[in-house]
Amino acid sequence: MSESRRAPFPFNPYDNLPELPTFTVTSTDVSDGVTVPPPVSSKAFGVPGGEDLSPQLSWSGFPAETKSFAVTCYDPDAPTGSGFWHWAVADVPVNVTELPTGAGTPGAESLPKGALTLANSAGFAGFVGSAPPAGHGPHRYFFVVHAVDVESLGLDASTRPEVLGFNLFFHSLARAFVVPIFDVAVG
Which residue type, as a one-letter code, is found at position 111? L
How confident is residue 184, by pLDDT bands cut at 50, 70 and 90? low
Instruction: Report, as an integer, the average pLDDT of 157-163.
Output: 96
Which is more confidently placed, 8 or 148?
Answer: 148
End-to-end Cα spacing for the chain = 24
pLDDT confidence of residue 9? 66
Q: Quote the CA–CA distance of 186 and 56 in Å, as a whole number.
A: 22
DSSP 9: S
pLDDT tens-place string over residues 5-50: 445 666 789 998 999 999 999 999 999 989 877 777 888 777 777 7
| Per-residue buried b or exposed e for 157-168, using 16+ beta carbons within 10 Å of the residue's own CB | eebebeebbebb
DSSP 141: -
How confident is residue 160, by pLDDT bands cut at 50, 70 and 90? very high
Whole-angstrom CA distances from 60 to 66, 89, 120, 151, 152 are 11, 18, 26, 18, 20
Superfamily in which the 3-182 domain is placed by CATH: PEBP-like (3.90.280.10)
Which is more confidently placed, 134 or 20?
Answer: 20
Total residues belonging to the chain: 187
Strand partners, 34: none
Other CB atoms within a 10 A radius of the CB of residue 15 amount to 7
Segment among 34-38, 112-116, 162-166 with least mean pLDDT? 34-38
Q: Quote the CA–CA distance of 64 and 46 in Å, as a whole number.
A: 42
pLDDT tens-place string over residues 67-88: 999 999 999 998 888 999 999 9
How confident is residue 3, by pLDDT bands cut at 50, 70 and 90? very low
Strand partners, 58: 26, 98
pLDDT confidence of residue 5? 40
Residue 134 clears pLDDT 90, i.e. is over it: no
Residue 2 clears pLDDT 90, i.e. is over it: no
How confident is residue 182, by pLDDT bands cut at 50, 70 and 90? confident
Q: Quote the CA–CA distance of 15 and 129 in Å, as a whole number.
A: 24
> Residue 131's Cα: distance from chain center in Å?
14
Instruction: Report, as an integer, the average pLDDT of 97-114.
Output: 93
Which residue type, as a one-letter code, is found at position 53? L
Nearest to 39 by CA among 117, 104, 115: 104
Cβ-based burial of 26 (10 A; exposed 0-12, middle 13-18, buried ≥19)? middle
pLDDT confidence of residue 187? 44
- What pTM was estimated for this model as a whole? 0.91
